[in-house]
Amino acid sequence: MELLWLIPALPLAGFVILALAGARMPRPLAASIGAGSVGLSALIAVVTAAAFFPDQRAHTQNLWKWIDAGGFSSDISLTLDALSVVMVLVITFVGFMIHLYATESMSGEKDGYSRFFAYMNLFVGSMLLLVLADNLLLLYLGWEGVGLCSYLLISFWYSDPANSRAAMKAFIVTRVGDAAMAVGLFILYKEFGTLRITEVMNMAAAQWSSGSTIAVAAAALLLGGAVGKSAQVPLHTWLPDAMAGPTPVSALIHAATMVTAGVYLIARMHILFTLAPQVRIAVAVVGATTLLLAGISALAQSDIKRALAYSTMSQIGYMFVALGVGAWTAAIFHFMVHAFFKALLFLSAGIVIDALHHERDMLRMGGLRHQLPLAFWCFLIGAASLSALPLISAGFYSKDLILWESLASANGSAWLWAAGMAGALCTSAYAFRMVFLIFYGKAQSEASYRIAVHSGLRTKAPLIILALLALLAGFLQTPESLGGISFFSAFISTALPSTPTIGTAMSEGTMQYLSGFLSLLGIFLAYIFFLYNPDYIRNFIRKPFGFALHCFLSSGWNVDRLYDILFVRPFIYAAQTNCRDIINLFFLLVALLHKGANRVLCASQSGLVRKYAFGIAAGAALILGVVALK
Amino acid sequence: MTNIPAEYGLVLAALLFATGLVGVLARRNIIFILLSIEIMLNAAGLAFISAGSRWGQADGQVMFIFILVMAAAEVSVGLAIVLQLFHRLKTVNSDEANTMRG
pLDDT tens digits, one per residue of A214-267: 889 999 999 999 999 888 888 888 888 888 888 889 888 888 788 889 999 999
For B29, the closest chain A residue by CA position comes to A610
Find the residue in B nearest to A610 (Cα): B25
pLDDT, mean over chain A: 86
Is the model's pLDDT at B17 over the cut of 90?
Answer: yes
> Does residue A526 lie within any of the structural domains?
no
**Inside any domain, residue A626:** yes
User: Chain B residues contacting A, CB < 8 Å?
Assistant: 21, 24-26, 28, 30, 33, 94-95, 97-102
The rounded distance, in Å, linking the Cα atoms of A78 and A134 is: 5
* Cβ contacts of A610 on chain B, cutoff 8 Å: 24-26, 28, 33, 94-95
* CATH fold for the domain made of B6-90: Helix Hairpins (1.10.287)
pLDDT at A447: 56
B99 contacts on A by Cβ (under 8 Å): 607
Taking phi over 0 as left and psi of -120 to 50 as alpha, with beta for the rest, A498 belongs to: beta
pLDDT score for A144: 92
Mean pLDDT of A37-58: 87
Give one word for A64, left, alpha or beta, with left for phi > 0 and alpha for psi -120 to 50.
Answer: beta
| Confidence (pLDDT) at A505 | 63
Distance from CA of B96 to the nearest CA of A (A): 8
The model's confidence at residue A450, banded by pLDDT at 50, 70 and 90, is low
The number of distinct structural domains making up chain A is 1
Closest Cα of chain A to B95: distance in Å? 5
Average pLDDT, chain B: 89
The pLDDT tens digits of the residues spanning B53-89 come to 888 888 889 999 999 999 999 999 999 999 998 898 8
pLDDT band at A287 (very low <50, low <70, confident <90, very high): very high
What is the band of A69 on the pLDDT scale with cuts at 50, 70, 90? confident
Question: How many whole angstroms separate alpha carbon A370 and alpha carbon A441?
Answer: 11
Cross-chain Cβ contact A613/B25 below 8 Å: yes
Chain A hits for B102, Cβ within 8 Å: 601-607
Would the pLDDT of A584 be above 80?
no
Closest alpha carbon to A255 in A97, A472, A403: A97
How confident is the model at residue B2, as a pLDDT?
65
Closest to A610 (Cβ–Cβ): which among B25, B100, B102?
B25
A627 to chain B, minimum CA–CA distance in Å? 18
Average pLDDT over residues A65-86: 85
Residue A224 has a pLDDT of: 92
Confidence (pLDDT) at A446: 62
Q: Is A388 left (phi over 0), alpha (psi -120 to 50) or beta?
A: left
Q: Considering only the beta carbons, identify the residue of B21, B26, B98 that sits closest to A608.
A: B98
CA A163-A234-A209 angle, 5° bins: 135
The Cα–Cα gap between A320 and A326 comes to: 10
Across the interface, whether the CB atoms of B100 and A607 are under 8 A apart is answered: yes
**A362 pLDDT tier (thresholds 50, 70, 90):** confident
In angstroms, the separation between the Cα of residue B41 and the nearest Cα of chain A is: 14
Nearest to B24 among A602, A608, A613 (CB): A613
Q: Which pLDDT belongs to residue A504?
A: 67
Residue A327 has pLDDT above 80, yes or no: yes
If you average pLDDT over residues B20-36, what whole number do you get? 90
Nearest residue on chain B to A617, alpha-carbon basis: B21
Integer Cα distance of B52 and B64 in angstroms: 10
pLDDT band at A539 (very low <50, low <70, confident <90, very high): confident
Q: What is the pLDDT of residue A128?
A: 92
Most confident of A89-98, A233-242, A443-452: A89-98
Instruction: Determine, yes or no, domain membership for A147.
Output: no
Contact B94 A603 (CB under 8 A): no
Beta-carbon contacts of residue A6 (< 8 Å; ≥ 6 apart): A40, A41, A44
pLDDT at A422 over 70: yes
**Of A299, A294, A175, nearest in space to A228 by CA:** A175
- Of A452 and A172, the structure prediction assigns the larger pLDDT to A172
pLDDT band at A38 (very low <50, low <70, confident <90, very high): very high
**Quick one: CA dihedral A111, A115, A119, A124, positive or negative?**
positive
A584 interfaces chain B, CB cutoff of 8 Å = no
Whole-number pLDDT of residue A474: 80
Residue B93 CA to residue B35 CA, distance in Å, equals 14
Is residue A160 a part of any domain in this protein?
Answer: no
- Higher-pLDDT residue of A448 and A387 is A387
Q: Which domain holds residue A621?
A: 585-630
Rounded percentage of chain A residues whose pLDDT exceeds 70: 96
pLDDT at residue A559, rounded to an integer = 83
